[in-house]
């Protein structure tokens, strides 16, 4: 055997060995393998996509205008502080969209416009109305969507879903695909939780606070608010703490009068973890602030000693302990009547950060495992049927040469699966379509070469010379067609969405492997046949 033929067979053997190693996790006997082999083998094989194994398909809409409103609200507070610090005596009102500043003196306008150059102003009698410019509004909405995308990705990563697809769609929508999720309700709640953590001072000194009942039933909130609304001081608000009786399980709500201004938010959290209260054997979430947050928390607790500080998450009071002394070190805790899973999810959203704006679920599709099983069966049937028909045609039309091409097709399929497993690629239905198309191109490649070889045989050349000449003449045409298809697949991958990307990935891998099996694999077999003995005629 020629040295070059040995080298090519060695290369094919090595590729086959690597392929089988990569596919080990997908083998039915993988779980029975000795630990030492499992340690050496990869821990992941081919991963099935959402359409093949079931799961969740969600579409969220980010309320970008809420982020704009929150930003404008923070600016209005900044303007009021600026006015107070400079003793300008300006009255600042915020209506959820615009900031009205009275009076409209040149000194006040200059101070505001120097501090907030992104605001646009218009006169309204004795007042000036400020609002965010269109460019700044667009930037905030776009930034809110990107932050929401990153926050959702962080939460899902910590939830432990393998191969999730999380991507932006349009201006303010986010598509989430979670293959194989067993607890869809919990996953949806975790993703959509706003997690706006705030600390607010309880206004126990106000006369209105003494008129509030100790506890109410959950359905009595609106009735209580209607009764006390007129007595709530400006700058205060009423929020509720949910209380669950540990013995009876009865749920009540405790109204609290709080200062609206939040001296600190959850943006300063560096760590949040679940711990167990040994007294009641219940979980709570321990918070650690970063250096800046620790400093702010120390200032707050020093300023409000002997007063209550409420910890508020998404508008609900979780606890309102009395500050006994200044707390340094930057630690706090959130306790409540929740399960271990609820405590873990709370810690996840606090660690992953709050969503910059509320998200609304537009679409929620749970793909059942039966649909996945059907899809897998249909995909397998399609691929097997395509292979049998094509392989049968090749064997019938090109005889032994056709069988060599069929062997190349088998190697093509095996190498393709191995490459996907090695790359941890996700196999989807569009991906199976890409595989079928790659099989078609592999057949086309062999047909092209075999027809050239037939032409050479008709011209009177020997079988060996016909094989060499056929491969040489078809080489450039094959490479040209494969490269152009590869470029098309690259464009699809770059600009396509999830399913199209899956199609492009399998098609690209299939094309690259087809070049290897067609130009190196089948040629090695023909050269081996011609090297062992003088072939009088070529079965083609």
The pLDDT of 208-217, averaged and rounded, is 85
Question: What local confidence, expressed as pLDDT, does residue 333 receive?
Answer: 77
Instruction: Give the pLDDT band (50/70/90) at residue 532.
Output: low
The tokens describing 519, both together, are: 């130009």
pLDDT in tens, 13-35: 898 888 888 888 878 787 777 77
Question: What local confidence, expressed as pLDDT, does residue 163 receive?
Answer: 65
Examine the pLDDT at 139 and tell me if it is beyond 70. Answer: yes
Say whether 56 sits in a helix, a strand or coil: strand
The pLDDT of 44-62, averaged and rounded, is 79
Q: Is the peptide bond before 103 cis (omega within 30 degrees of 0)?
A: yes
pLDDT in tens, 162-210: 667 788 888 888 888 887 777 778 888 778 776 677 888 899 888 888 8
The pLDDT of 524-530, averaged and rounded, is 82
Burial class (CB in 10 A: 0-12, 13-18, 19+), 109: middle
Question: What local confidence, expressed as pLDDT, does residue 257 receive?
Answer: 92
C-alpha 247, offset from chain centre: 41
Instruction: Give the pLDDT band (50/70/90) at residue 121.
Output: confident
Question: What local confidence, expressed as pLDDT, does residue 71 receive?
Answer: 83
DSSP string, 500-534: HHHHHHHHHHHHHHHHHIIIIIHHHHHHHHHHHS-
Instruction: Give the pLDDT band (50/70/90) at residue 337.
Output: low
Question: What local confidence, expressed as pLDDT, does residue 498 receive?
Answer: 64
Examine the pLDDT at 502 and tell me if it is beyond 60. Answer: yes
Decide: pTM greater than 0.85. no
C-alpha 200, offset from chain centre: 33
Q: How many CB atoms lie within 10 A of CB 147?
A: 17
Closest alpha carbon to 538 in 430, 457, 429: 457
Q: β-pairing, 47-48 with 426-427?
A: parallel
Question: What local confidence, expressed as pLDDT, does residue 228 receive?
Answer: 83
State the chain's maximal CA–CA distance in angstroms.
111
pLDDT in tens, 368-409: 655 556 766 777 787 788 788 888 888 888 888 889 888 888
Helix (H) / strand (E) containing 37: helix 35-40
Distances (CA, A) of 410 to 311, 417, 459: 63, 11, 32
Examine the pLDDT at 2 and tell me if it is beyond 80. Answer: no
Q: How many CB atoms lie within 10 A of CB 282?
A: 16
Distances (CA, A) of 348 to 165, 190, 195, 319, 321: 19, 8, 10, 19, 23
Say whether 286 sits in a helix, a strand or coil: strand
Reported as half-sphere exposure (CB side, CA atoms, 13 A), residue 83 has a value of 20
Is residue 294 a contact partner of residue 330, using CB atoms and an 8 Å limit? Answer: yes
Residues paired with residue 100 on neighbouring β-strands, in sequence order: 93, 129
Question: What local confidence, expressed as pLDDT, does residue 256 receive?
Answer: 92
Q: What is the mean pLDDT of the chain?
A: 82
Examine the pLDDT at 5 and tell me if it is beyond 80. Answer: no
């Amino acid at each position: 055997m020629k040295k070059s033929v040995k080298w090519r067979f060695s290369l094919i053997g090595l590729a086959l060995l690597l392929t089988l190693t990569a596919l080990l996790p997908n083998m039915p006997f993988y779980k029975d393998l000795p630990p030492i082999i499992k340690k050496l083998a990869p821990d992941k094989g081919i991963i099935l996509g959402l359409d093949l194994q079931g799961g969740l398909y969600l579409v969220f809409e980010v309320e970008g205008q809420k982020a704009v409103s929150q930003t404008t609200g923070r600016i209005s507070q900044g303007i009021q502080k600026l006015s107070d610090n400079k003793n300008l005596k300006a009255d600042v009102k915020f209506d959820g969209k615009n900031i009205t500043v009275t009076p409209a003196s040149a000194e006040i306008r200059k101070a505001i416009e120097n501090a907030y150059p992104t605001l646009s102003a218009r006169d309204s009698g004795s007042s000036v109305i400020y609002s965010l410019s269109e460019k700044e509004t667009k930037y905030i909405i776009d930034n809110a969507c990107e932050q929401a995308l990153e926050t959702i990705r962080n939460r899902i990563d910590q939830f432990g879903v393998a191969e999730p697809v999380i991507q932006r769609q349009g201006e303010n929508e986010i598509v989430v695909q979670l293959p194989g999720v067993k607890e869809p309700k919990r996953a949806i709640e975790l993703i959509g939780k706003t997690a706006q953590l705030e600390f607010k001072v309880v206004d126990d000194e106000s006369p209105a606070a003494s008129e509030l009942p100790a506890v109410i039933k959950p359905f009595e909130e609106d009735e209580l608010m209607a009764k006390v609304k007129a007595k709530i001081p400006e700058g205060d608000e009423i929020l509720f703490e949910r209380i669950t009786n540990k013995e009876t399980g009865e749920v009540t709500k405790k109204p609290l009068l709080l200062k609206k201004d939040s001296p600190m938010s959850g943006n300063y959290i560096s760590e949040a973890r679940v711990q167990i209260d040994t007294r009641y054997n219940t979980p709570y979430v321990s918070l650690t602030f970063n250096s800046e947050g620790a400093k702010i928390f120390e200032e707050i607790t020093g300023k409000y000693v002997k007063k209550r500080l409420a910890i508020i998450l998404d508008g609900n009071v979780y606890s309102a302990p009395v500050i006994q002394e200044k707390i340094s070190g930057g630690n706090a805790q959130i306790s409540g009547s929740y399960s271990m899973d609820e405590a873990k999810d709370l810690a996840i959203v606090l660690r992953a950060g709050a969503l910059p704006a509320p998200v609304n679920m537009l679409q929620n599709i749970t793909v059942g495992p039966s649909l996945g099983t059907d899809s897998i069966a249909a995909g397998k049937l399609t691929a097997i049927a395509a292979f049998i028909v094509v392989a049968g045609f090749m064997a019938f039309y090109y005889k032994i040469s056709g069988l060599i091409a069929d062997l190349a097709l088998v190697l093509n399929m095996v190498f393709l699966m191995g490459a996907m497993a090695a790359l941890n690629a996700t196999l989807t239905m569009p991906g199976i379509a890409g595989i079928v198309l790659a099989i078609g191109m592999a057949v086309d490649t062999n047909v092209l070469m075999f027809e050239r070889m037939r032409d050479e045989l008709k011209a009177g050349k020997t079988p060996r010379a016909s094989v060499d000449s056929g491969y040489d003449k078809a080489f450039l045409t094959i490479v040209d067609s494969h490269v152009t298809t590869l470029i098309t697949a690259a464009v699809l991958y770059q600009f396509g969405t999830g399913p199209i990307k899956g199609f492009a990935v399998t098609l690209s891998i299939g094309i690259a492997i087809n070049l290897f099996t067609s130009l190196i694999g089948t040629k090695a077999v023909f050269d081996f046949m011609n090297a062992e003995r003088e072939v009088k005629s070529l079965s083609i």
